[in-house]
Amino acid sequence: MEKNSLKKLLSIAMVCLLAVLAAACSPVQESSSPDGQSAAIKGTPATVTYVVDGDTLDVKFKNGKTERVRMLLVDTPETKHPRLGVQPFGPESSKFTKTQLTGKKVGIELDISERDKYGRLLAYIWIGKQNFNQLLLEKGLARVAYVYPPNTKYVDQFRATQEKAQQKGIGIWSIENYAQEDGFHENSKSPSSNENKQPANPPSNEKPKGKCNIKGNKQSMIYHVPGGQSYDVTKAEVIFCSEAEAQKAGYRKAKR
């Protein structure tokens, strides 16, 4: 009886000893790298030292080197251009980038070609798990632009994000025909700037008959009601008899 008890005690002691040894030999899971950066950071760690405008900034790497970075595949309206000056939503995009990134630790992800003709790094900016280039598109503060292979890693998802912003009509997409494939067109923001000029595509002089007088623009998918700022200069590409009918067809109401 005593021998059996002794054997049980020895067995328990052996199990405990093995458990202690196993714990001591197990590798330690580190949540961060020695410099305090998250080991899972996307791209090369850097700190944002200065924001030039919505899509351009200066960063400082761990080795002390400072680089100017131009965000890939996006374009925000200008705020400091010598010829274009301050464009609509330029100040908003610049302020957003400054607020979100100034002094922050970010990840700099390069694509295939590293620099543009001005010597700036071309990169995707990561803040946490968020691609900041894509965030600008999501907020309606930038358009997809400068799509030059081979730097096209995220172009498909960027375009999908832009399409959602267009459908919501937010930011740069709230001004009809302002953001286009070849840039930003300020003369599209207000028809009053063309009051004394003959439109390139003259609007139809025919007034819609009866109550069917809501004009739709097929390109922008925006509809205009009588009395709206852009109503008279909008060509009636499609006519609706009610706002409900226009909305059912996928059109959204002009904000001006």
**Residues 190-224: pLDDT tens digits?**
433 333 334 444 444 444 445 688 888 766 778 88
| Structure tokens that stand for 9 in this block | 């005690």
| 115 catalytic residue (yes or no) | no
**Catalytic position from the list 109, 120, 138, 143:** 120
pLDDT higher at 220 or 125: 125
| Structure tokens that stand for 89 in this block | 């939503």
Q: What is the pLDDT of residue 116?
A: 96
| 70 catalytic residue (yes or no) | yes
pLDDT tens per residue across span 161-180: 999 999 999 999 999 999 99
Of 4-13, 147-156, 207-216, minimum mean pLDDT range: 4-13
Give the range with max mean pLDDT: 40-54, 138-152, 202-216. Answer: 138-152
> Of 92, 69, 67, 91, nearest to 81 (Cα)?
91
Residues, the chain: 256
Residue 50 scores a pLDDT above 70: yes
pLDDT higher at 196 or 41: 41
> How many angstroms separate the CA atoms of 31 and 1, rounded?
51
Q: What is the pLDDT of residue 40?
A: 60
| Structure tokens that stand for 164 in this block | 């959602």
Q: What is the pLDDT of residue 33?
A: 36
Residue 131 scores a pLDDT above 90: yes
**Catalytic position from the list 78, 92, 109, 176:** 78
Task: List C-alpha distances in Å: 244 to 137, 169, 225, 228, 241.
Answer: 29, 18, 12, 17, 9
Q: Mean pLDDT across the stretch 62-72? A: 97
> How many angstroms separate the CA atoms of 130 and 127, rounded?
5
**Residue % of the chain over a pLDDT of 70:** 73
Q: What is the pLDDT of residue 234?
A: 77
> Of 58, 61, 57, nearest to 76 (Cα)?
57
> How many angstroms separate the CA atoms of 246 and 243, rounded?
5
**Catalytic position from the list 70, 109, 138, 176:** 70
Residue 100 scores a pLDDT above 60: yes
How far separated are the first and last CA of the chain, in Å rounded?
96
pLDDT higher at 138 or 225: 138
Q: Mean pLDDT across the stretch 41-45? A: 89
Query: Which stretches does DSSP call E strand in the chain?
Result: 44-53, 56-61, 66-71, 74-75, 105-115, 121-127, 130-131, 143-144, 179-180, 183-184, 214-217, 222-224, 238-240, 252-253
**What does pLDDT average to over the chain?**
81
Q: Per the confidence metrics, is the pTM higher than 0.75?
A: no
Q: Mean pLDDT across the stretch 47-61? A: 98
